[in-house]
Chains A and B, each alone.
Chain A
Amino acid sequence: MDLSSTEDRSGKRAATQIPAAPAAAGSSPLAAAAGAAARTSSHEVTTPAPQVNVEGLRSWYGEQQAVRGVDLRFAANAVTAIIGPSGCGKSTLLRCINRMHEEIPGARAEGRVTLDGLDVYAKESDVVAVRRAIGMVFQKPNPFPTMSIFDNVAAGLKLTGTRGVDLRDRVEQALRGAGLWEEVKDRLGRQGIGLSGGQQQRLCIARAIAVEPRVVLMDEPCSALDPIATLRIEELIGELRANYTIVIVTHNMQQAARVADTTAFMLAGELIEHTATEQLFTNPADERTEQYVTGKFG
């Protein structure tokens, strides 16, 4: 992968180095971080990725409704963060995008999710094809415990069929893309669960991007990691938008401020506000958003 836009990365590093300073009373404590993260529009696009549209999405777990009619646009080759208190439906929304939601017994969803206009829930859409196009990274690093590092990355490739594919090459590319190659290139045959938590999560990112999806969904990808490992993943997310459309669900508002171009705030299954990250954290339109980002609840 093209490790382009060094300016972009250094810009982000500057952003992450600024601690979420306790700002003056009244203004958002995240204002500083969000302000520094205002490098949203200028980044290079290596591989154009699709725009993801969610229209009128509602979903249920049994009788309980988790998402109550959400319309959201995830811009192509951008990072969109979804924030909100626990149980607001943000993870459910994310899982509806690649139809992982329906793996939970009793769960169902209604509405439209489109990938450059192609409906993920259309009758002729196949769930396997959908998930190949929309990769996912989970909260807890989940490499396959019995497989080597190499086999973990190759696992998805082997599913799609490896005819005419240079497996070694693709694995190396994916590991480079996930910023893990230099650390593991001498021990590809070792088991993936021997890596540290942060490395495991990057291994999972490598596994997800090895099948060359168009969109990458991340469900609180750093919540099980320490701050240093978190920083690495956040840098990686900034690089990945050159090739993918990224949606990240996070509990951590600073993280949203650091990595996201736009941020959506959800509450009780509804979308409250979706706007440029800086604006959401400094000058939100909705009172509830302001209360949340200033730490008055949640």
Chain B
Amino acid sequence: MQREPDRGLTHVEAGTLTPGGGRSSLERSSLRRLPDRLLKWGLTALAAAILALIVYFFVRLADESSAAFSRFGVFGFTFDDNWDVSKNIYGALPLLVGTLITSVIALVIGVPIAVATALYLNELCPRRARGVLTTLVELLAAVPSVVYGLWGVFFLIPRLKPVEQWLSDTFSFLPFVGGPVAGPSYFIAGLILAIMILPIVSAISREVIATVPVEQKEAALALGATRWEMIRIAILPHARAGITGAAMLGLGRAIGETIAVTLVIGNAPTIGKQLFDQGYSLAAVIANEFGEAAATPIHRSALIAAGLVLFVLTLLINGGARAFVIRGERRRGQA
């Protein structure tokens, strides 16, 4: 009974949708749909090209470094504490350790400052000053890294030496602190790196903090929270995953940074006993030794192997950061 009028209705509508007997007005010619398809295929090709490039890098690095790896073994090359160019013995542990120490110092110093900067810019700073200050912080990213390195060599190292010596003497009860201070050192390299990662960590933190809903902030303030308490109970829990992601991006930058570190780390292929000792990093060794290595195939291969280690390290850290951020988001999503 109900069906009859229904059918009549659909009939009428089908008629109105097909003007003049040609195509239904719900169709479109394939020519007009072409741009959409082109866009889709074009973008897919570009994305695939990026992937292919990374795979190509990896394969080339693996190929070029195979000589070093087969001579010293993958494990032996990566974790042997012996980098002796004159004897053609290459164990990259001092470089690996140098890279990790300087990067960790950079994070420990840089991330709190970057997050504090972001909080200040978003929550406390007068609105008129905000634009100028934001630009200034981001300008730090525009300074070429060689300039940071030179500034480290000619300004930071001589001026900070007494401070470092004082720190070294005062906190000698801590592990990895104490003893005479070398000019260039892990600490100076970490400090320079901290300044270099500040803009990116701060910019991403700022974006994340800006997404904290105003209702959350008002909820805290209406309870009688001070500004700091509001930041602690409403902003930081909300932004924690994002800030971690920002720190990891900063870490990626710190690990790969080459020229500034080369200038201030001291380029000693040994594992320093303490924070203020000289050392070396994976990136720095490649930059420094590549010229002389052209003549010695095994040396060249070892440097490329160092590059591969650096590449894998960065991949691991980025992957770890991604997993951490996703897990944080999922945990929040579950609730």
- With an 8 A cutoff between CB atoms, is B11 at the interface? no
B 201-234 contacts with A by CB, 8 A: 213, 215-226, 229, 233-234
Nearest CB on B from A167, distance (A): 15
Closest CB of chain B to A272's CB: distance in Å? 28
Question: A191: which B residues are within 8 A, CB to CB?
Answer: 335
CA distance A100 to B225 in the complex (A): 12
| In the complex, residue of chain B having the shortest beta-carbon distance to the beta carbon of A104 | B214
Which A residues are CB-close (under 8 A) to B213?
Answer: 142
Residue of A128, A144, A194 near B216 (CB, 8 A) is: A144
Question: How many pairs, one residue from A and one from B, have CB atoms within 8 Å of each other in the complex?
Answer: 73
| Chain B residue with the shortest CB-CB distance to A130 | B224
| Any A CB within 8 A of the CB of B332 | yes
Take A191-B335, A193-B335 as given contacts and tell me if A103 and B224 are in contact as well, using a CB distance cutoff of 8 Å: no
Expressed in whole angstroms, the minimum distance between the Cβ of A13 and any Cβ of chain B is 30
List residues of A (111-137) whose CB comes within 8 Å of B's CBs.
Answer: 128-129, 131-132, 135-136
- Whether B223 lies near A207 (C-beta < 8 A) is yes
Bound Cα distance A141, B62 (Å): 56
Q: Is the CB of B218 within 8 A of A142?
A: yes
Q: Are A100 and B233 within 8 A (Cβ)?
A: no
Is B28 engaged at the interface, CB distance under 8 Å to the other chain? no
Kindly list chain A residues whose C-beta atoms are within 8 Å of the C-beta of B332: 145-146
Q: With A193-B335, A194-B335 as given contacts, are A146 and B223 in contact (CB-CB < 8 Å)?
A: no
- A142 to B237 Cα, complex, angstroms: 14
The number of residues on chain A lying at the interface, defined by a beta carbon within 8 Å of a beta carbon of chain B, is: 29
Do residues A136 and B222 form an inter-chain contact, with CB atoms below 8 A?
yes
Closest-CB distance, B183 to chain A (whole angstroms): 46
Are A142 and B215 in touch, CB under 8 angstroms?
A: yes
Q: Knowing A105-B127, A146-B237, say if A131 contacts B219 (CB, 8 Å).
A: no
Q: Which residues of A contact B238 (CB under 8 A)?
A: 145-146
Q: Is A208 an interface residue (CB 8 A)?
A: yes
Contact status of A159 and B223, CB under 8 A, knowing A103-B218, A142-B216, A147-B237:
yes
- Minimum C-beta distance from A120 to chain B (A): 13
Find out whether the CB atom of B224 lies under 8 angstroms from the CB atom of A145.
Answer: no
Q: How far is the CB of A34 from chain B (nearest CB, A)?
A: 30
B222 contacts across to A, CB distance below 8 A: 98, 100, 131, 135-136, 138, 208
Q: Are A145 and B127 also in contact (CB < 8 A) when A100-B222, A131-B222 are?
A: no
Q: Which residues between 87 and 117 of chain A lie within 8 Å of chain B, taking CB atoms?
A: 98, 100, 103, 105
Q: How far is the CA of A7 from the CA of B53 in the complex (A)?
A: 77
Would B215 and A140 count as touching, CB distance under 8 A? yes
B224 touches which of A129, A142, A143, A193 (Cβ 8 Å):
A129
In contact, B224 and A160 (Cβ under 8 angstroms): yes
A103 to B96 Cα, complex, angstroms:
49
* Contact between A131 and B237, CB atoms less than 8 A apart: no
In the assembly, what is the distance between CA of A138 and CA of B238, in Å?
19
> Could you give, for residues 194-213 of chain A, a 1 whenever the CB lies within 8 Å of some chain B CB and a 0 otherwise?
10000000001001100100
Q: Does A156 contact B (CB under 8 A)?
A: yes
Interchain CB contact under 8 A, B224 and A131: yes
Q: A156, B335: Cβ atoms under 8 Å?
A: no
* Interface contact A138-B215, CB-CB below 8 Å: yes
Query: Which listed residue (B221, B229, B237) contacts A144, Cβ 8 A?
Result: B237
For window 126-176 of chain A, which residues contact chain B by CB distance below 8 Å?
128-129, 131-132, 135-136, 138, 140, 142-147, 155-156, 159-160
Given contacts A98-B222, A145-B216, A191-B335, 10 further A-B contacts (CB under 8 A): A103-B218, A131-B221, A132-B223, A135-B223, A140-B215, A142-B213, A142-B219, A143-B219, A147-B237, A211-B224
Closest 5 CB pairs of A and B: A132-B224, A191-B335, A156-B223, A146-B237, A136-B222
Q: List 7 A-B contacts (CB under 8 A).
A: A98-B222, A131-B221, A135-B222, A140-B215, A147-B233, A159-B223, A159-B224
Chain A residues in contact with chain B, CB under 8 A?
A: 98, 100, 103, 105, 128-129, 131-132, 135-136, 138, 140, 142-147, 155-156, 159-160, 191, 193-194, 204, 207-208, 211
Residues of B within 8 A of A (CB): 127, 213, 215-226, 229, 233-234, 237-238, 332, 335
